[in-house]
Structure 1
Amino acid sequence: MAAGFAPPKLKDFILTEKLGSGTYATVYKAFRKTDSREAVAVKVVSKKSLNKSSMENLLTEIEILKTVRHPHIVQLKDFQWDSDNIYLILEWCSGGDLSRFIRSRRILPERVARRCLQQIACALQFLHERNISHLDLKPQNILLSGNVLKLADFGFAQYMSPWDEQQALRGSPLYMAPEMVCRRHYDARVDLWSVGVILFEALFGRAPFASRSFAELEEKIRSDKPVELPSGVRVPPDCRDLLLRLLERDPDARITFEEFFLHPFVDLEHMPSVDSLQTAKALVLQAVQKDQDGQRSAALSLYCSALEHFVPAIHYETDRQRKEALRQKVNQYVSRAEELKALVKSDNKISFEEAKCTRNILTEMSRNQPRLLAALELASTAVAREESGAEDSDTLDLYQQSLGEMLLALAAEPQGRRRDLLHSEVRKSSSHYVSVLCSRVHVQVSLC
C-alpha cells in the first residue's frame, strides 16, 4: 500500500486492506492485537468531513447499533475516537455483500431469493418492533457471513414511529421509494419499497427502474404506469403478488409491515433458525405415531409439515457431516411420505364416486343454505380439477375455501342426517386437500 494511503493507527487493532469508502467514512479489514487475531471491520470516520447533519446521523447510528443484537444485523463491537477520527469496530462478514453475490450469479433462483428475503424480513421485523427505520436498504448494505445475511450501514437509520414523517433525502436513488425521490413527506414504509427493489433485482438481475441518470430515474418513478415484471420470467403467484404490493408507488396502497411479515412468500414460520430442527423432530414423531395407527391422511399431513421445517434445518446446519446425515434421514421421511401419498390417492380415487353421491344428496338437503351450497360447488370443482391431474395452488385454494365454509356450517348444524353427511364431506375433502398439498414433497426436499 502506498505511503500516502496507509490506514490510520488504532491501539488494539491492525488495519489492513481497504474494503470501501464513501463521503464521510472508509472501511478497513482489521485484526485484533491478541492471540485470537479476531477479524473485524473498522469504519473510520474523519471528523473534518462531518457537518452538523452527518454528525447527528453518526451518533444515531452508534446509538442504534449499541442497543440492537440480532443474528441478521451486523454487530457493533466497540467504538473509539482520537483527535482525527471516530472508529466503529464492527463484526466481520467474510462473504462480501449481496450486490456482488447477485452479480456473480446474474440472477438468483427463486428459492435462494426467498431465503435472502426471509432473513431481511426477520431483521426488519426486529427493527420495526423497536420503531427503527433503516432508510438505506440496498444490496450493497446487506453483508454475507457464510450463508447468513446481515443488515449493515445504519448511517441513515432513524428512530421512527409508523406515523412519523421525514423530508430529508436519504439513501441511494435506485432503491429510494417514489415519495422520497419526489421529495414528498415519507415515513417508515420507504423500507418496504426498498425491499421490493432488492427482491426484484435478485430475481431479474436489475432494478425495476434502472436508469442512466437521476433525471431519467425520477421521470420513471413519477410515471403513473404500474410496475411490470419482466416477460418470459416465471415467478410463483405468491412471489408476484408480494413484488407488486411492495412496489406500489402510493405508500397508502403499499403492503403494510404487518401484511409483509405474514405474507406466504416471506413465510417467516419456516425460515432457517436454531429451532427448525426441534420443530421438525416433534412433528415427525407425531407423523410416525399416526402412521403406526393406520391414519394415513393425518400421517401424510404431519410428514409434510415436518419436511417444511426439515428443509430449513438442513439449510441452517453448517457442519457438513451433520448436514449430510440429516439429509439422509430426511430422504427416508420423504420416501415414506411418497408411499403414503400414493396410498391416500388410491383411497381418494375409490371414494370419488361415493363422495359425489354423498355431495349430491347433501346439495339437495341444503337448498335453503346458499353459503353451504356455494361451498359444495367449490368442493366439486376442486375434485374435478384433482381428477384431471391439476394438483396446483388453484386446486388447493378451492379445497381450502370450501372446507372453511363447510366447517362453519358443521359447527352450527344440529344432530341429524345432514350433519352426518356434512361431517363425511368435510373428512373426505380434508383427505383430498392433504393429498394435493403433499403432491410436491419431492420438490420441497430437492431444495435442500
Structure 2
Amino acid sequence: MTIMPNSVEGRDIAYQMHPNVNLRAYEKTGGLVIESGDGIYVTDNNGKRYIEAMAGLWSVALGFGEKRLAAVAKAQMEKLPYYHTFGFRSHGPSIDLAEMLIKIAPVPMSKVHFTSSGSEANDLAAKMVWYRSNALGKRDKKKIIGRLKGYHGVTIAAASITGLPRNHESFDLPLDRMIHTSCPSYVHFAKAGESEAEFTARMLQDLESLILKEGPEAIAAFWGEPVMGAGGVLMPPAGYWEGVQAILNKYDILLVADEVICGFGRTGKMFACETFNIRPDVLVVSKQITSSYMPLSAILMNDRFYQPIADESDRIGSFGHGYTASGHPVATAVGLENLKIIQERDLVGHVADLQDTFLSGLAELAKHPVAHSSRGIGLIGALEIKPWTDAKPGDAALAVADAALEAGVITRNIGEAVCFCPPLIITAVQINDMFESVKQALDKVAKRSV
C-alpha cells in the first residue's frame, strides 16, 4: 500500500507507533487518516468516502454515528463518569448489562466478568482456568489447546493460545503450556481426494491424538472461535463442532468459545454458538458488544466453571485479580444501549435475511479470473484470490485489497483472502454497491497482472 501523509503533515509518522504494521514501511508511506463516519461509510481527511466493509475491526455493528450511543455515553459521563467494581463496589450499568448478558446467553451461564478488550478477556479466562484447576486439586491440569490459525488476542496468554506465527515470532511466545491442534479449514488443508467428512474425521483424530500424547490429566481447556476470523474467515467443516465437544466431554476438558468477532448477530443468530450448536463452559465476547464505541469485553461462565473459583477465593480470602476499567460505567451503559438497539431493530434477523444476498454476491465475485473461491456465513465472508506465480504469498490478495481501497471499499487481506465483515446495518443495495466496487478492483488487478 502506498499512502502518503496528507493534511496531518507527517505528524502521524513523527509521533505515533501503530499496531499490526511493518513499522519501517509505515515510516516511509504513512497511512490512511479517517476523519468521520456515517452509517456504513467513513471519510478520510481528503474528503474521500469509503464503504467500511470490515466494520472497523470486525466490530462496528451499528455503523458509525449512532446518536443513541453518543447520547447514552454523554448522559453517563455526566452522571457517573467512572467507578470501579473492585471489592464490595458496583454501579447500575454494569449490573444491568451483566443481567442482560446472562438472559441472552446461548446456554445457561452463571456469572459475568467485565474487561476492556478481547485480548484481556481471553487472558483472564486462561488465568481463571489455571486458578480453577488448582481449586480442584488438579495442579498438573494446566495446558490449553488452541488451533493453528486461531486468533484470541495479543496479551501474553492470549497470544500464546493464538495460532498465528506473526503473533509469536520475536515475542518469545507461545508459553509452553499452550499447545495447538490442526486448523480445520477444508479449503486450505484437505488432502487430494479427501471428502469433507473424511477431513473432519482427520481433524478430530488430530485433536484426540494430541490430548492422548500430552495426557488428558494435563489438559485443562480448549479454545476456539466458531468461525476463525483473523485467520482468514475459516469455516468449520460439517460435524466438526459436534465431534470436538464429544472429545472434550470424554476427557473432562473445558470448552472456551471465543465469540469476540461472531457474537451479537454476525452469523445470523445472536451468538455463533447457536449457529453451530456449541455449548461452552466459558463464552468470551467483545467488539460488537458496544459496536466498539467504547472499549468493553466480557467473560460469561457457567456454574461448573465459576463455583470452584469462588470456593478458592474463599479459601485464599480474595480473588486476586482486577482491572481499573473492569465494568466501566460509560462502557457498560453504551453496551447495554447497543444491545437494546440490536434487539429493537431485529438486526440479527436482518443479518439472516441478507445472508443469501451477501453470500451470492461473494460467490459471483469468485467466478472472476483473479479469484479462486468464496466462503462465509451471515455477514462475514472471504474471497480467496489465486496466488501469483513468482510472488510472495499474499501479494495477490494485497493487490486486490489495495485496488478495492482505491475504488472506495475498505477490506482486509489475510493470506490469499480478501475479507468482508460489514456493519450489521448494511442494506441489500449497499451490499451490491460494495461488491460492484470490488469487481472493479478485481478487473484492475487482472489487467495489472497480464
- TM class, shorter-chain normalised? under 0.3
Higher relative contact order (CA 8 A, sep 6+): 2
Normalised TM-score (structure 2): 0.24
Normalised TM-score (structure 1): 0.24
Of Structure 1 and Structure 2, the greater strand share is in: 2
Which structure's CA Rg is the greater one? 1
Of Structure 1 and Structure 2, the greater helix share is in: 1
